[in-house]
């Protein structure tokens, strides 16, 4: 199996790049943000709980996310692997994922971190607000999400660096150029 973690700040291009990776390597795309937004739309109990947190730019509790991922991995035994997008927001989630994949006789193949300057991610998110109208893409929530990223999420990168499994990728430039940078790393893993 190839299990990739696309990592980076909100607006760093994880969703866009995931779509290309999924197509090229025939993997399953897992976006915890998309799953949560679907729960909100369906007005499930989980959705109702997540809504206020997401709209304020806070993280959804680790235990909720980890349980969601355990179900997801267990219910897709036949996939070639996963592209995790926006999953791994905390070191606790990273530790839980390592254990979960180990139970399924697999592991994280690589963490790919998209580096993009703050001014650029803010610009991209405000543009996305116009196109997609996401309620958490307003400037106040964006600033809070970036703060949460720096304090709670960025340490995950160090966690995989210590395992020798972190690949830093320049996330600026054209979408296809960034994809090429990712392909070069992933093709070497196989
Ligand atoms: P995203 O679509 O990845 O930008 O996620 C949107 C929002 O969903 C985040 O700001 C968090 O509130 C929540 N969220 C998504 N994924 C996670 C996760 N792995 N852990 C905690 N909260 C998450």
Ligand 1 centroid, distance to 60 Cα (angstroms): 7
Q: Using N-to-C axis directions, what is the helix angle for 62-74 and 45-56, rounded to 10°? A: 130
One DSSP character per residue, 33-56 reads: HHHHHHHHHTT-HHHHHHHHHHHH
User: Nearest 5°: phi and psi at 55?
Assistant: -65, -25
Shortest-distance Cα residue to atom 6 of ligand 1: 33
Instruction: Point out the ligand 1 atom lying closest to the alpha carbon of residue 53.
Output: 12
Q: What is the mean pLDDT of residues 87-103?
A: 98
Instruction: Point out the ligand 1 atom lying closest to the alpha carbon of residue 31.
Output: 3
Ligand 1 centroid, distance to 39 Cα (angstroms): 13
Query: Per-residue pLDDT tens for 173-189?
Result: 999 999 999 999 999 99
Query: Per-residue pLDDT tens for 104-141?
Result: 999 999 999 999 999 999 999 999 999 999 999 999 99
- Count, residues in the chain: 190
Ligand 1 centroid, distance to 43 Cα (angstroms): 17
Query: 145 in ligand 1 pocket by Cβ < 6 Å?
Result: yes
The pLDDT mean for the chain works out to 97
Instruction: Return the ∠ at Cα 97 (arms to 189 and 69), rounded to 5°.
Output: 115
Instruction: Point out the ligand 1 atom lying closest to the alpha carbon of residue 57.
Output: 10
Ligand 1 centroid, distance to 135 Cα (angstroms): 13
Query: 146 in ligand 1 pocket by Cβ < 6 Å?
Result: no
**Does the model's pTM come out above 0.95?**
yes
Identify the pLDDT of residue 190.
Answer: 66
Query: 10 in ligand 1 pocket by Cβ < 6 Å?
Result: yes
Cα separation of the two ends of the chain: 10
Shortest-distance Cα residue to atom 14 of ligand 1: 33
């Amino acid at each position: 199996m190839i299990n990739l973690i696309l990592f980076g700040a909100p607006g760093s291009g994880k969703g866009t790049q995931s779509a290309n990776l999924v197509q090229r390597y025939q993997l399953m795309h897992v976006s915890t943000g998309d799953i949560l937004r679907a729960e909100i739309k369906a007005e499930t109990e989980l959705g109702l709980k997540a809504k206020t947190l997401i709209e304020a730019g806070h993280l959804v509790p680790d235990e909720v996310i980890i349980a969601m991922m355990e179900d997801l991995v267990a219910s897709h035994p036949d996939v070639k692997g996963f592209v995790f997008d926006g999953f791994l927001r905390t070191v606790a989630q990273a530790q839980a994922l390592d254990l979960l994949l180990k139970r399924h006789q697999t592991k994280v193949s690589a963490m790919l971190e998209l580096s993009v300057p703050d001014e650029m991610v803010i610009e991209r998110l405000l543009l996305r607000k116009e196109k997609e109208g996401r309620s958490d893409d307003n400037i106040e929530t964006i600033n809070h999400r970036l703060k949460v990223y720096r304090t709670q999420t960025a340490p995950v990168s160090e966690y995989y660096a210590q395992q020798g499994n972190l690949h830093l990728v320049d996330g600026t430039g054209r979408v296809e150029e960034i994809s090429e940078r990712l392909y070069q790393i992933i093709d070497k893993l196989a």
